Amino acid sequence: MAKCIAIVEDDPDQRANYADAITKKGYEVHAYGSREEALSGFDTRLPDLAILDIILGEEVDGGFQLCRDLLTRAPSLPVIFLTERINEIDKISGLRLGAWDYLPKPISLDYLAERISSLLRIHEARSEQSEQDSPTAKKIGELTLDQDALLTSWRGNRIDLSGTEFRMLAKLVRVPGHAVSYETLMNATMQSLVTNNTINTHMRNIRKKFEKVDKDFGCIKSEYGFGYRWSE
């Protein structure tokens, strides 16, 4: 059964272009022009992945609101923001909401299709695989990382990190106790236009996810002006 991709974009030409390109890759596409249309469609069926613009008609933050609604219904759903709003504040807001990726317009349709495929592979692997039966799982104290499925668990509790968050965490714990610089963490994100504030936001998100399963979690230490350190 084809995976269902939701596109929420108020520009009809862009919406049609995205839908056509993604459909040609073998996905089922549901395209919406407003937050209200999307919510109505999600009542019928939730997508396997959602692509959201931020500005939807008169709603300048409509995509942010829609992301909150979606992740309330399906907390592990992959969400991509695809937008012309590429300033740091907006990017940080999107990451804090739980988006898996934040892509700037204009974008290559082939690249967009590849990002969709990559995130769906990660999501599917997480759904099918657990760290107990994974031959690629690596343990660092109470932490378990599976590089293939990008799965993380802490003291036996699964933690759903985005691909970017996982790569940053893997870089952080490569040598426990050693400080890792902002520059190294920026490289781990595999994204452009990354600043120290962006890294700080990612780290806050990672901490919060660990704290949901362990209120006393405190292994991620800030090294003021330099970066971060993993210390159990």
Q: What is the pTM of this model?
A: 0.66
Q: Using alpha carbons, select from 13, 20, 57 the residue that is nearest to residue 37.
A: 57
Query: What's the residue count for the chain?
Result: 232
State the sign of the Cα–Cα–Cα–Cα dihedral 72, 78, 82, 88: positive
Rounded Cα–Cα distance for residues 69 and 76 (Å) = 13
* Cα 188 to Cα 11, 19, 169, 182, 226, distances in angstroms: 33, 31, 9, 10, 16
**pLDDT score at 133:** 54
DSSP string, the chain: -PPEEEEE-S-HHHHHHHHHHHHHTT-EEEEESSHHHHHHHHHH---SEEEE-S-BTTBTTHHHHHHHHHHHH-TT--EEEEES--SHHHHHHHHHHT-SEEEESS--HHHHHHHHHHHHHHHHHHHH--GGG-TTEEEETTEEEETTTTEEEETTEEE---HHHHHHHHHHTSSTTSEEEHHHHHHHHT-SS--HHHHHHHHHHHHHHHHHH-TT---EEEETTTEEEE--
**Where in the chain do CATH 1.10.10.10 domains reside?**
131-230
Please tell me the predicted confidence (pLDDT) of residue 131.
45
List every span in the chain annotated with CATH 3.40.50.2300.
4-125
Q: Please name the amino acid found at residue 30.
A: H
Fold of 131-230: Arc Repressor Mutant, subunit A (1.10.10)
Q: Kindly report each contact of residues 127-130 with a partner whose C-beta sits within 8 Å and lies 24 or more positions away, as own/partner.
A: 130/158
**Inter-residue contact 77 to 126 (CB < 8 Å):** no
The correct CATH number of 4-125 out of 3.30.70.1070, 3.40.50.2300, 3.40.30.10, 3.30.1490.100 is 3.40.50.2300
Tell me the mean pLDDT per 10 residues along the chain, length 232.
Answer: 94 96 96 96 94 94 93 89 87 83 90 92 72 67 83 88 87 92 88 83 92 94 94 86
